[in-house]
Amino acid sequence: NAGVMQNPRHLVRRRGQEARLRCSPMKGHSHVYWYRQLPEEGLKFMVYLQKENIIDESGMPKERFSAEFPKEGPSILRIQQVVRGDSAAYFCASSPVPNPETQYFGPGTRLLVL
Amino acid sequence: DQQVKQNSPSLSVQEGRISILNCDYTNSMFDYFLWYKKYPAEGPTFLISISSIKDKNEDGRFTVFLNKSAKHLSLHIVPSQPGDSAVYFCAASAQGGSEKLVFGKGTKLTVNP
Please tell me the distance from the alpha carbon of residue A78 to that of residue B43, in angstroms, as a whole number: 20
Dihedral Cα B108, B71, B44, A43, nearest 10 deg: -90
Q: Which residues of B touch A56 (CB under 8 A)?
A: 100
Closest CA to B64 of B22, B10, B11: B22
Please tell me the distance from the alpha carbon of residue A49 to that of residue A72, in angstroms, as a whole number: 14
What's the confidence (pLDDT) of residue A69?
Answer: 95
Choose, out of B101, B102, B105, B107, the residue to mutate when testing the contact with A (most A CBs < 10 Å): B101
What's the confidence (pLDDT) of residue A89?
Answer: 97
Residue A3 phi, psi (nearest 5): -80, -170
Lowest mean pLDDT among A64-78, B46-60, B94-108: B94-108
pLDDT per residue of chain A (114 residues) written in tens, 0 to 9: 579 999 999 999 999 999 999 999 999 999 999 999 998 889 999 999 998 899 999 999 989 999 999 988 999 999 999 999 999 999 999 999 888 888 899 999 999 999
Closest CA to B100 of B21, B28, B32, B5: B32
Interface size A-B, in CB pairs within 8 Å, comes to: 55
Q: Which of A42, A99, A107 sits opposite B103 (nearest CB)?
A: A42
Q: Which of A45, A107, A108 sits opposite B101 (nearest CB)?
A: A45
Q: Which residues of A touch B45 (CB under 8 A)?
A: 105
Closest CA to B56 of B69, B73, B37, B80: B73
What's the confidence (pLDDT) of residue A100?
Answer: 85
For residue A94, what is the nearest residue in chain B, using CA coordinates?
B43
- Smallest CA–CA distance, residue A26 to chain B, in Å, is 14
- Smallest CA–CA distance, residue A61 to chain B, in Å, is 16
What's the confidence (pLDDT) of residue A1?
Answer: 54
The arithmetic mean of pLDDT across residues B32-61, rounded, is: 94
- Report the percent of chain B where pLDDT is more than 70: 96
Please tell me the distance from the alpha carbon of residue A87 to that of residue A111, in angstroms, as a whole number: 5
